[in-house]
């Protein structure tokens, strides 16, 4: 069971928006930056968002994050078939002195 809680799956039609929640606590999301990753089948995770809402070079602004208290939400707008993947949130946890990940959310494009 992951310290960060994500829904197992979300889905939407092409062009629509999906949101993925990541719920934690004051020892992680509440006081530290959240990162988000996209993992396509058979590949390494790809950093989408870091420091709560910064995007590495090449990541489109269709991906954005909102954070409130001990939760964060990744939003993907203009959904494309290429967005079908597993998405993970991650953060530092000061109680564990460790990096922690959510259990992952599978995004399906209907």
> For binding to another protein (CB under 8 A), which residues are involved?
2, 32-33, 35, 37, 39, 43-47, 50-51, 56, 86, 88, 90-92, 96-104
Rounded Cα gap, residues 77 and 70, in angstroms: 23
- The minimum distance between CB 53 and another protein, in angstroms, equals 12
- Least Å from the CB of residue 29 to another protein: 11
Kindly state the smallest distance separating residue 16's Cβ from another protein, in Å.
Answer: 25
CB nearer to another protein: give 43 or 81.
43
Q: Which is nearer to another protein, 102 or 109 (CB)?
A: 102
Question: Based on CB atoms, which residue is closest to another protein, 16 or 71?
Answer: 71
Close Cβ partners of 17 (under 8 Å, ≥ 6 residues apart): 75, 76, 77, 78, 79
């Amino acid at each position: 069971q992951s310290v960060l809680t994500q829904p197992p799956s979300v889905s939407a039609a092409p062009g629509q928006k999906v949101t993925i929640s990541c719920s934690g606590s004051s020892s992680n999301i509440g006081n530290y930056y959240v990162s988000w990753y996209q993992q396509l089948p058979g590949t390494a995770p790809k950093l989408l968002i870091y420091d709560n809402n910064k995007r590495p070079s090449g990541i489109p602004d269709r991906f954005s994050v909102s954070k409130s208290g001990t939760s964060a939400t990744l939003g993907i707008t203009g959904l494309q078939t290429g967005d079908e993947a597993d998405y993970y949130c991650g953060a530092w946890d000061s109680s564990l002195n460790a990096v922690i990940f959510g259990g992952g959310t599978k995004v399906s494009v209907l």
